[in-house]
Chains A and B, each alone.
Chain A
């Protein structure tokens, strides 16, 4: 929801390590983060915040699960083995059995990129500089017709 970002961020975990000098905080063990309607569940979440401003959030899990209620009331859900959110770019990267679903519509691939600024979604093999990526895995999408 639009108002989620104005809500406090609630976090539960087994352990935490904060390192001011290296600029990171790592939550480990049954990590749950809630902000408004956004919920993220993972086994480990690391927040990189050099100079106290958050740059990158990395969540690992088997899988990481997250969900958020959209402004139209629909609940968007997602999961992946590795989730990265680049704050400045406002881009979400899902890797490893990645899935995005909203009501019955579902989208799955080994790699999904989603821009929270533009709403653009890319899926398929991640093109990572300096790594030759062998084509692996297919993109599958299921969209239910809306009966008008």
Chain B
């Protein structure tokens, strides 16, 4: 009777470990099946440039970067060390650098993060300026840039610091939402 008990005990352990192993391996196999999943990357670019052109072929903005990963499930792209050049309707150029950008699927909204620099060179009578912050959302379609973080804006007229901003490149309007401190050179 004892021997039978022992055999039954060993069989039970073997059966339990077989079921556990099957469970674990099934989970990893599942990831290989072709159904779109939240985290799967379906293509990857290295040292790339992406351009968006209008109907008449004019480049409205272009993005270059070190790496781009595209997510199959969400259609979102992550871009590392992005550099964006955007031209508004009147031809005014704005460039944007960051450590990382995430383009949220087809809608095109781009969230930028890490040492962001927005630079606008002198254009006709519109002064040159450099704006720096840590996080920012850029909507290339409506040409709006916004952030909830501290920002610093430096131009040859002086500097301006604040927290949170919204700007529309076409309307040329910049709103700084709180904690504003500015210093401007005296008028000549």
Q: Which A residues lie at the B interface, using CB under 8 A?
A: 5-22, 27, 35, 51-52, 54
- Contact partner of A15 (CB less than 8 A), chosen from B126, B127, B173, B177, is B177
A5 touches B172 (CB 8 A): no
Q: Number of contacts between A and B (CB, 8 Å)?
A: 65
Report the Cα distance A15→B172, complex, angstroms: 17
Interface string of B72-87 (1 = CB under 8 A from A): 0000000000000000
Categorize the interface residue count of chain B: 20 to 34
B177 touches A7 (CB 8 A): no
Report the Cα distance A10→B181, complex, angstroms: 8
For the residues of B in contact with A, the DSSP-based class is strand
Closest B residue by C-beta to A54: B187
A6 touches B172 (CB 8 A): no
Of residues 134 through 179 on chain B, the ones whose CB sits less than 8 Å from some CB of chain A are 158, 160, 162, 171-179
Q: A15-B178, A21-B171 are in contact. Are A6 and B186 (CB under 8 A)?
A: yes
- Contact partner of A11 (CB less than 8 A), chosen from B125, B127, B181, B187, is B181
A15 touches B187 (CB 8 A): no
Report the Cα distance A8→B182, complex, angstroms: 10
Report the Cα distance A21→B184, complex, angstroms: 20
B175 touches A15 (CB 8 A): yes
